[in-house]
Amino acid sequence: MKQFFAFVKKEFYHIFRDRRTLFILLALPIVQIIIFGFALTNEVKNTKVAVLDQSHDNATASLIHEIDASKYFDLAVNIHSQSEIENIFKTGAAKLVIVLPASFESDLQHLNTAQVQLIADASDPNTATTLINYATSVIRDYQQRITDERKIPYTISAQVRMLYNPQMKGAYSFVPGVMAMVLMLVCTLMTAITIVREKELGTMEVMLVSPLQPLKIILAKAVPYLLLSIVNISSILLLSVFVLDVPINGSLLLLMMESILFIITCLSFGLLISAGTDSQQTAMFIALTGMFLPTVMLSGFMFPVENMPLPLRIISNVVPAKWFYIIVKSVMIKGVNLSGIWKETLILIGMTIFLLSMAIKKFKIRLA
Amino acid sequence: MRTLLFLLQKEFRQVFRDPSIIRMIFVMPSIQLLVLPWAADYEVKNINLVVVDHDHSAYTQKLISTITASGYFQLDIYTASYTDALHEIEQDRADIVLEIPATFEKDFIKEQHTNLFIAVNAINGTKAGLGSAYLQTILTDYNKDIRVKFIQQPKFNTAPVINVTYSNWFNPLMNYKYFMVPGIIVILLTMVGSFLASLNIVKEKETGTIEQINVTPIKKYHFILGKLIPFWILGLMILTIGLTISYFAYGIVPAGGFLTIYIFAAVYLLAVLGLGLLVSTYCGTQQQAMLISFFLMMIFTLMGGLYTPIDSMPEWAQWITRFNPVTYFIEVMRMVVLKGSSLADIRKHIFIVLGFAAVLNTWAVLSYRKRS
Q: What is the pLDDT of residue B179?
A: 83
Find chain A residues with C-beta within 8 A of B164's C-beta.
115-118, 135-136, 139
- C-alpha to C-alpha distances, B257 to B254, B262, B336, nearest whole angstrom: 5, 9, 7
Assess if CATH 3.40.50.300 describes domain A47-163: no
CB atoms within 10 A of CB A367: 9
Say if CB A83 and CB B338 are below 8 A apart.
Answer: no
Chain B residues 325-344 with CB within 8 Å of chain A: 331, 334-335, 338-339, 341
Does A143 have pLDDT greater than 70?
yes
Does B300 have pLDDT greater than 50?
yes
A117 to chain B, closest Cα gap in Å: 5
Find chain B residues with C-beta within 8 A of A173's C-beta.
123-125
ipTM above 0.90, yes or no: no
Say if CB A60 and CB A109 are below 8 A apart.
Answer: no
Q: Is B209 on the interface with A (CB under 8 A)?
A: no
* Whole-number Å distance between alpha carbons of A272 and A294: 18
Instruction: List beta partners, residue A158.
Output: B116
Q: Is B130 on the interface with A (CB under 8 A)?
A: yes
What average pLDDT score do residues B52-67 get? 85
Cα A314 to chain center, whole Å?
A: 20
The backbone torsions φ and ψ at residue A302, rounded to the nearest 5 degrees and listed phi first, read -90, -45
Chain A residues 333-362 with CB within 8 Å of chain B: 333-334, 336, 340
| Tens-digit pLDDT profile for residues A4-57 | 888 888 888 888 888 888 888 888 888 888 888 888 777 777 888 999 888 888
A–B CB contacts, 8 A cutoff, strictly below: 378
Chain B residues 252-311 with CB within 8 Å of chain A: 284-288, 290-295, 297-299, 301-303, 307-309, 311
Q: What is the DSSP string of B182-250?
A: HHHHHHHHHHHHHHHHHHHHHHHHHHTHHHHHHTSS--HHHHHHHHHHHHHHHHHHHHHHHHHHHHHHH
CB atoms within 10 A of CB A340: 19
- CATH superfamily name and code, B47-152: abc type-2 transporter like domain (3.40.1710.10)
What average pLDDT score do residues B219-234 get? 84
Does A163 have pLDDT greater than 50?
yes
Q: What is the pLDDT of residue B282?
A: 85
Selecting from B157, B313, B314 the residue whose C-beta is nearest the C-beta of A113 gives: B157
Under DSSP, the state recorded for A99 is: E
Chain A residues 18-47 with CB within 8 Å of chain B: 18, 20-21, 24-25, 28, 31-32, 35-36, 38-47
Q: Is B323 on the interface with A (CB under 8 A)?
A: no
Long-range contacts of B351-354 (CB under 8 A, 24+ apart): B352/B328, B353/B264, B353/B267, B353/B268, B353/B271, B353/B325, B353/B328, B353/B329, B354/B267, B354/B270, B354/B271
Domain chopping of chain B, boundaries: 2-40+172-367, 47-152
Does B167 have pLDDT greater than 60?
yes
Question: At B325, is the pLDDT very low, low, confident or very high (cuts 50, 70, 90)?
Answer: very high
pTM for the structure as a whole: 0.82
Residue of B nearest to A334 (CA): B90
Does A368 have pLDDT greater than 50?
no
Say if CB B231 and CB B193 are below 8 A apart.
Answer: yes
Chain B residues 149-208 with CB within 8 Å of chain A: 150-151, 156-172, 174-176, 178-179, 184, 187-188, 191-192, 195, 199, 203, 207
| Tens-digit pLDDT profile for residues B95-145 | 889 888 888 888 888 877 888 888 988 887 777 877 888 888 888 888 877
CB contact under 8 A, B133 and A137: yes
The H-or-E segment that residue A49 falls in is: strand A47-53
Q: What is the pLDDT of residue B248?
A: 92
Domain chopping of chain A, boundaries: 2-40+170-367, 47-163
Does B328 have pLDDT greater than 90?
yes
Question: At A152, is the pLDDT very low, low, confident or very high (cuts 50, 70, 90)?
Answer: low
A215 to chain B, closest Cα gap in Å: 24
Residue of B nearest to A72 (CA): B312
A216 to chain B, closest Cα gap in Å: 23
Q: In whole numbers, what is the pLDDT of chain B averaged over residues?
A: 84
**Number of residues assigned to chain A:** 368
CB contact under 8 A, B168 and A120: yes
Chain A residues 160-219 with CB within 8 Å of chain B: 160-166, 168-170, 172-173, 181-182, 185, 189, 193, 197, 200
